[in-house]
Each structure stands twice: as structure tokens, then as C-alpha cells.
Amino acid sequence: MIKEKVEELLYQALNQREDLFLIEVTVGGDNSIRIVLDGDHAVTLNDCMEISRAVEHNLDREEQDFSLEVTSAGATAPLRLPRQYQKHVGRNLKVKTNDDTIEGKLSEVNETGVTLTWKSREPKPVGKGKHTVQKEETISFAAIREAKVVLKF
């Protein structure tokens, strides 16, 4: 009951903010509500407060007690939706598929998947030693088990 009401209020609020989108909404047995958002750009504290108010001010605490947490998808959180990839073009990603783990720069995103590029040291085709080769792989969203942005400090 409360989850449906929260989702309805959430979608109404997100319809006003097309740059934000829902990653996850969970409601615990103790009516603890957790909403995780992401955006086409950065998600600010004000964005979280705006969505929190839109939900909280339309729920009646007299009818049902609850706690509410609205947060952004963290920098280290896995990318879950195709829409999340676009803002990370140019950054390094670590992508796990059923067959492999690839780390490379996200160079392209389209409707069906992503393209990663990276440099690799490989043996020369002729002679001794190694040379640097530019590699590229296109991975469909369906094949991605987990993808995370690689943070460099």
C-alpha cells in the first residue's frame, strides 16, 4: 500500500524533473523508504531535498509512520540503467560480462550498448619485444553483468 503511494508520488515529482530518474525505491517492513536517484548530470543535495519533499509532504504520518531517505547513486555504485552511461563518456569503466572483465575508456554509448577503448602491450607480430596496440570492444547492455566507473585519485 505505502510502496504504491510512494511510487506514484515519486513519478509525479520526476515528471517535473526530466533530468532526474529513479534507480531504486525500497520500502522495508518498518516503513523505512529508501529512494536512489541519478541524473543526466550531477544529482545535488537540493535535488534530493526537492524529491524528498514531494514524497514526504504528500504522505500522512498520522495514517502511517515512516522514515524517508532520498539519495543519489554513489560514485562507486554500479551503473544499472543504460541512461546512466551517457554522462560517463570519456571516463574509465570496469565492465564485467559473463565471459570477461574489461577496463577501458567509455568512448561511445548507443541504444544497444557501449564501446570501450584501451591500450594493450602485445608481442610484435614479427621479431622480439612488445608494442602498444589500441583495442576497442563493443558490449551490448544485455551482456553487461556489472559496470562501474573507475575513480582515479
What pLDDT is attached to residue 17?
A: 92
As annotated, the residues of the chain forming the CATH 3.30.300 domain(s) are 2-72
d(CA 90, CA 82): 16
Which among 106, 111, 110 has a CA at the least distance from the CA of 137? 106
pTM: 0.81
As annotated, the residues of the chain forming the CATH 2.30.30 domain(s) are 82-149
What pLDDT is attached to residue 140?
A: 95
CATH number of the domain located at residue range(s) 2-72 in this protein = 3.30.300
Residues of the chain where predicted confidence (pLDDT) is lower than 70: none
- Give backbone dihedrals phi and psi of 72, rounded to 5 degrees, phi first: -95, 155
Q: Give the amino acid at 6.
A: V
Domain 82-149 CATH (choose: 3.40.50, 2.30.30, 3.30.70, 3.40.1350):
2.30.30
Residues ≥6 apart with Cβ < 8 Å to 95: 101, 102, 103, 104, 114, 116, 139, 144, 146, 147
